[in-house]
Structure 1
Amino acid sequence: MRIFLSILLLILLVPGYSGEAPLRRPSGTPSLRATPVALFPLAPHERQLGPLTYLGGLRLASGDPAFGGFSALAVKGDRFTLLSDGGNILRFRLGTDWQPRDARFESLPEGPGTGWSKEDRDSESMAVDPVTGRIWIGFERANAIWRYAPGFARAERRAEPRAMADWSLNRGPEAMARLADGSFLVFAEDVAENEDEGDASLHPALWFQSDPAEVPRRGFAFRFRAPPGHRPTAAAEAPSGDILVLTRAVSIARGFTAKLVVVPRAAIRSGATVTGRTLATFAPPALHDNFEALAVTREGGATILWIASDDNESLFQQTLLLKFRLDANAAPER
């Protein structure tokens, strides 16, 4: 029975696991529909989730068959970039009226393989240099990191770091962050070696001193301890220098849920096992879905978090884009 329920869960909630479908090519100028959503659907005036204050959010939809599956997010001013796990890019502007404008769809110009199937373009993580505009993409299956010119104009460098070679094909570089000092963090969705039968909350992670697509690559390995039952899906640097990690769980009872944790930057050292402190949990009665994307921006003196969900191109899921203020003085989740 347990095996049957697990298979049913994969079919209903993660249809991409059921087979390798051809990639859907975007149209170029999609029509986006944006519907406001409440953080607590049954209590729409409630806006607090731990130290996160909800500032608004949207359910995004489109008739374009290539829409959906978004696994990474970048935000600069009013410009948003969503990257799907099939190598498709959605860019748009979002003003104070919460209406997307100037939406444009495109595909990565190059990547692992030929790009005709998801196996070739399993793009799961993204990091951007805010000064140069260069973009780094982490690809599962290939366990590779590619660097692109600003605006995804062309691929500039590619690498398959030796330290990532043993990460499993479908649980590779799921989360990546470029830090203010120019270093990079990469987290595997995979469970750390020899932990499958033991502590399954430990995940391999890497720190690169500089551009991981360049040679030589200097850095070290460490392990990230996720909340029980969760896996890392996105990471970003907070203004304090600490690392915010978005983690996800899935179960028959509640579907997809997520926890946002903070990891002290000073704890990340060679060979260390680092544990995040939970800030907020996305579970009933709050909005909860397959949250896979995280971006941090500033508005005045406020720290803003943007979180987006991957709908897995499933009728049972949604593409959500949520905005929060991180209240430094608010108490974390107990």
Structure 2
Amino acid sequence: MASSSARVWRNTAAAILAIAAFFIVAPAFADKTASVLPRVERLAITAIPIDFDRDDPARKQFGKLVWRGGFNLFAKSPFFGGYSGLIVAPSGKSLLAISDAGTWLRANIDYDGRRLKGLSEATIGPILGHDGKPLAGVVEQDSEGLELLDGDISKGAAYVAFERNHRVLRYPFTPDRFGPPDGGLTLPAETKRMSANRGIEAVAPIRTGGLKGATVLFSERLPDKNGNLRGWLIGGQAPGAIALKNVGGFDITDAASLPDGGIVVLERRFRYSEGVKMRIRRIAAKDLKPGALISGEVLLEANDSLNIDNMEGIAVHRSASGETVLTLISDDNFSPLQRTLLMQFALPDAKPVLAEPQSR
């Protein structure tokens, strides 16, 4: 049972988050630096442990996921924050994140057994444009989605999705350089209907099964004629439009590929009257086909009575014990009232049970 002090903290935190959530829908008011990070820098990150349930820290089961720990992250840099896209190395021992301020963050992930312990050996650097210079200005910098294509966290290539100037580009990277881009995806004609601040948020290349070679894209909120959330299969053997069933008015903030050829989708809902919510849905590989209206399986849904913020990035890796581990990061919008949270959950079961797709 929660103590009175815990309840007071929860209610206070929820009120603060409700105020802070204003910045989720009005990011122009946030304190994002107008300057450009010119070069790669070392970064010391302070990681303050958090419990997902403030009232009951011993609780570990949330929906179909198991809590593996989390942190509130701090760093003394005006460029630290705004993280909207995330990838984690297959080993689970390092991460790469992108910020909507046109920067990237790389760090080692430290563990105490299976539980998150902190981040170390962090570096931060600029995302480069086609001209080889750091991206400048919000229209060019606003990166929202990230997914690994080749290599590992230290050296490889990744897709980066940008909004405002809507595009999905292929970025080669090394430990001290991210770009310039050397290609990208041709976006469907429907994406011309996307508003400036609701572009492509989710990029998930499929690496196995019948859809191998395809990339799943979702916009933040582009409704089809029935009000469901528009997405696309790009490339592969069966490209075409798909839709995620609109359940409860959530927006899509990210997606990541699963080892079995399916994906997980991260969603967010904000209302002034109720604060912030987040949801994670799992979509089976068999449901990803042109014309499908997909419901998926809810793995977790949480409101701000639990320890969430503006959750925008999700990544997947398989642990040494065989668990599918989901890592989430929040976008603080460079607001002092919001937080950069990093958290992990395990999905213990290996065989998903998912809703059947509905005909359209």
- List aligned pairs for 1:181-200, cutoff 5 A: 181-194=212-225, 199=227
Question: Hey, what's the Cα distance between the residues in 1 that align with 2:286 and 2:248?
Answer: 23
Aligned residue pairs, count: 315
> CA offsets per residue over residues 53-78 of structure 1, 9 Å max, x none?
11111110112111111001011131
1:40 counterpart (43, 53, 77): 53
**One-letter amino acid matched to 2:230:** P
1:207 alignment counterpart: 233
1:100 alignment counterpart: 119
1:125 counterpart (123, 135, 145): 145
Q: CA 1:28/1:257 → structure 2, altered by over 3 Å: closer, same or farther? A: same
Q: CA 1:331/1:254 → structure 2, altered by over 3 Å: closer, same or farther? A: farther
Q: 8 Å contact 1:144–1:161 — kept in the other structure?
A: yes
1:276 alignment counterpart: 296
1:240 aligns with 2:253: no
1:89 alignment counterpart: 104
2:173 alignment counterpart: 150
2:27 alignment counterpart: 16
Question: Hey, what's the Cα distance between the residues in 2 that align with 1:118 and 1:56?
Answer: 33
User: Which range is displaced more, 123-132 or 47-56?
Assistant: 123-132
1:306 aligns with 2:327: yes
Q: Secondary structure at the match of 2:294?
A: strand
1:265 offset after TM fit, Å? 2.0
1:176 counterpart (189, 203, 208): 203
1:24 offset after TM fit, Å? 4.2
Q: 8 Å contact 1:184–1:208 — kept in the other structure?
A: yes
> CA offsets per residue over residues 29-86 of structure 1, 9 Å max, x none?
2221110110101111111101111111111011211111100101113111111112
1:74 alignment counterpart: 87
User: Which range is displaced more, 44-53 or 144-153?
Assistant: 144-153
Q: CA 1:208/1:100 → structure 2, altered by over 3 Å: closer, same or farther? A: same
**Identity, % of aligned pairs?**
26
Q: CA 1:299/1:114 → structure 2, altered by over 3 Å: closer, same or farther? A: closer
1:4 alignment counterpart: none
Q: TM-score, normalised by structure 2?
A: 0.79
When the two chains are superposed, the root-mean-square deviation of aligned CA atoms in Å is: 2.8
1:194 offset after TM fit, Å? 4.3
1:238 offset after TM fit, Å? 2.1
Q: 8 Å contact 1:226–1:276 — kept in the other structure?
A: no
Q: CA 1:61/1:14 → structure 2, altered by over 3 Å: closer, same or farther? A: farther
2:245 counterpart (209, 217, 225): 225
**One-letter amino acid matched to 1:171:** R
Q: CA 1:39/1:165 → structure 2, altered by over 3 Å: closer, same or farther? A: same
Q: 8 Å contact 2:312–2:331 — kept in the other structure?
A: yes
Q: 8 Å contact 1:71–1:83 — kept in the other structure?
A: yes
Question: Hey, what's the Cα distance between the residues in 1 that align with 2:136 and 2:223?
Answer: 31
Question: Hey, what's the Cα distance between the residues in 2 that align with 1:263 and 1:102?
Answer: 34
Question: Hey, what's the Cα distance between the residues in 2 that align with 1:257 and 1:111?
Answer: 37
1:21 offset after TM fit, Å? 6.2
Q: 8 Å contact 1:289–1:318 — kept in the other structure?
A: yes
1:23 offset after TM fit, Å? 3.8
Q: CA 1:20/1:55 → structure 2, altered by over 3 Å: closer, same or farther? A: closer
1:154 offset after TM fit, Å? 2.8
1:52 aligns with 2:65: yes
**One-letter amino acid matched to 1:174:** E
Q: 8 Å contact 1:87–1:108 — kept in the other structure?
A: yes
Q: Note the residue ranges of structure 1 that are not aligned, 5 or more in a row.
A: 1-7, 211-216
Question: Hey, what's the Cα distance between the residues in 1 that align with 2:46 and 2:35?
Answer: 19
Q: 8 Å contact 1:10–1:17 — kept in the other structure?
A: no
1:15 offset after TM fit, Å? 4.3
Q: CA 1:275/1:218 → structure 2, altered by over 3 Å: closer, same or farther? A: closer
1:30 counterpart (6, 28, 43): 43
**One-letter amino acid matched to 1:84:** S
Q: CA 1:237/1:229 → structure 2, altered by over 3 Å: closer, same or farther? A: same
Question: Hey, what's the Cα distance between the residues in 2 that align with 1:88 and 1:166?
Answer: 27
